[in-house]
Structure 1
């Protein structure tokens, strides 16, 4: 059959081009490449290369390439561990090294693949997928891939929920979005082969895995252009490269800041601006912003909300405050109105203030009756 592109494969080819462009963008954007940046770049590159292979396979252009391009089928054994690694490196206080255990599946796959490739290379200049693997071997590979992806999707969700706290809510939201995008790929991959095995696959569903890959690439690409600060890790950026404040001094001042904010409870002032807090600490607003961003991994508003919401949780959990109005709690915690308090509280805790109070008082009552 003659090699040719159709509308869908053309779209996927464009998505792959977008993937390569995004990889280059992420690599050259920062002078100092961070681990999270590298792992995210690697994930996008693997998706892009896999997408290119699928396009070559469907359009019959695969026959013009070396047989070993089908090695990309095993990239699923790498994407899951890299995704987990990326999520962990986004944690400010967590130093994560890539465990060798995560490499075992791709190492075993590579050994098996290239042994078979070199054995069959002499008898066939072009090795199609069907000639490379028996149907039984291919089925086993696909089953292992699905199990591997599902396991790492669960691990990724666990990783996000494990750090579900008021610290860096914007970063936490970003992590959830990335995991949901990854789980969409896993679901598409699994659903595709379920339909293949049950003979329910329709021609219009044949591109669903590639569509999921394309979505992930465009999803990251969109955020890279519209919200580049989200892709920064550990609050680091080139913003403070020329600052006279050293890292050791910044760390010392961060501890001083935390002690001050806890003892003085400045966050309860609803009109507290960055300049006001900086004046209390005898710092410039630029240096205070640097300390909060680099050492605490937060924006100024997130920093204040961290303490304000904790204070609100304390008030709402106290049975003695059971009759206190929500608007009164909002004012006591430094908020100017009920709407902003409600939205922020739900963003940080997952509950409305009223629901949080209800659950907290119920738990307190249950413990008292034991």
Structure 2
């Protein structure tokens, strides 16, 4: 393929420049160092490098470049982890075991010197599988959240990018498209990625800390009062285990503690750093862990453990346990039993 410069390539050069510009303005909009905006900027910059690599390929000069620059062709392995990380950061959550998500990129990149000995079809299949795994992970994460229009748009945009990527290789494998002429597919991918960038730029940022500060900006409660409520709450929960009541409401708890409803809510949100439901569920999970460790509960069902800990059903118990412990209760119980018999 001879080096050439046509209208399509000129268009994508402009698109790459646009991506670079957008990456910088996302960082420029982020003087306070917000992590989600940094991740979004990195996502856009990564895609800009991918587009730049395509341009070099289309112009027919990629073969004249050092072989290690082929790493740019593997940058698609970073898009899924970055999109998922960005989504979680907008909800004030960190991606667990983050390094693992970037391991495929590292491993595939190490194979670059040996790629001539590997069937060429292997690489796009791995890329496609990797992308759609992250579509599924993003969908699973969004499903755990209350309806969020931006996260839904993010899912559709990233899914659109992945479908374009899949469509390109299907067309090539079917013989309907030459491998070097994927302009329309790349255009579709660019649209979806830059939609995420520009839409993300206009998204208002709400950190958990900022949300709490704004919510309680007009509160008359002093720090001393909040500490007093928190201490009273801790003592009551430890002594009477009120959380084991599956029907416990915030108002019921406020009445028991003889404190103001809004004051109790503020103490839990600000001092505990979590919602009322998360506060209760974490206490219930800790109680369930103690119950699972007791010899007399060795044959008890998980539902029985869940009810005793304060959960109303097995599903909410399983979801909460995995959220706070990173593993299902059955696996936790098994590990405890294995340690005892070692």
Q: TM-score, normalised by structure 2?
A: 0.58
Number of the residue aligned with 1:108: 107
Number of the residue aligned with 1:148: 130
1:213 CA drift (Å): 3.2
- Report matched runs for 1:52-201 at 5 Å: 52-63=52-63, 65-92=65-92, 94-113=93-112, 115-116=113-114, 133=116, 136-163=118-145, 165=146, 172-201=148-177
Question: Alpha carbons of 1:143 and 1:204: their partners in 2 closer, same or farther (altered >3 Å)?
Answer: closer
| Count, aligned residues | 238
Distance in 2, Cα, partners of 1:212 & 1:43: 17
Question: Alpha carbons of 1:9 and 1:296: their partners in 2 closer, same or farther (altered >3 Å)?
Answer: farther
Q: TM-score, normalised by structure 1?
A: 0.54
Distance in 2, Cα, partners of 1:296 & 1:10: 51
1:208 CA drift (Å): 3.5
1:144 CA drift (Å): 0.8
Number of the residue aligned with 2:285: none
Distance in 2, Cα, partners of 1:53 & 1:189: 15
Distance in 1, Cα, partners of 2:95 & 2:140: 16
1:65 CA drift (Å): 4.2
Kindly indicate whether structure 1 or structure 2 has the higher relative contact order, using CA contacts under 8 Å at least 6 residues apart.
1
Distance in 1, Cα, partners of 2:209 & 2:203: 12
Number of the residue aligned with 1:329: none
**Alignment deviations for residues 135-174 of structure 1 (CA, whole Å, 9 cap, x no partner):** x5321111111111111111111111121x2xxx5xx211
Question: Aligned to 1:31, what secondary structure does the other structure show?
Answer: coil
Once the two structures are overlaid, the 10-residue window that deviates more, 143-152 or 35-44, is 35-44
Question: Aligned to 2:4, what secondary structure does the other structure show?
Answer: coil
Question: Aligned to 1:133, what secondary structure does the other structure show?
Answer: helix
Number of the residue aligned with 1:43: 43
CA contact (8 A) 2:26 2:41 kept: yes
Distance in 2, Cα, partners of 1:33 & 1:59: 38
Question: Aligned to 2:154, what secondary structure does the other structure show?
Answer: helix
1:200 CA drift (Å): 2.4
Question: Alpha carbons of 1:73 and 1:204: their partners in 2 closer, same or farther (altered >3 Å)?
Answer: closer
CA contact (8 A) 2:53 2:72 kept: yes
Question: Alpha carbons of 1:244 and 1:9: their partners in 2 closer, same or farther (altered >3 Å)?
Answer: farther
CA contact (8 A) 1:51 1:213 kept: no
Number of the residue aligned with 1:340: none
Number of the residue aligned with 1:24: 24
- Report matched runs for 1:285-296 at 5 Å: none
Question: Alpha carbons of 1:16 and 1:234: their partners in 2 closer, same or farther (altered >3 Å)?
Answer: farther
Question: Aligned to 2:44, what secondary structure does the other structure show?
Answer: helix
Q: Structure 1 regions of 5+ residues with no counterpart?
A: 117-131, 257-261, 264-280, 283-287, 298-370
Q: Structure 2 regions of 5+ residues with no counterpart?
A: 231-249, 252-261, 276-342
Distance in 2, Cα, partners of 1:16 & 1:234: 34
Question: Aligned to 1:160, what secondary structure does the other structure show?
Answer: helix
Question: Alpha carbons of 1:151 and 1:14: their partners in 2 closer, same or farther (altered >3 Å)?
Answer: same
CA contact (8 A) 1:22 1:221 kept: yes
Distance in 1, Cα, partners of 2:206 & 2:9: 33
1:201 CA drift (Å): 2.4
Distance in 2, Cα, partners of 1:207 & 1:236: 44
CA contact (8 A) 1:9 1:55 kept: yes
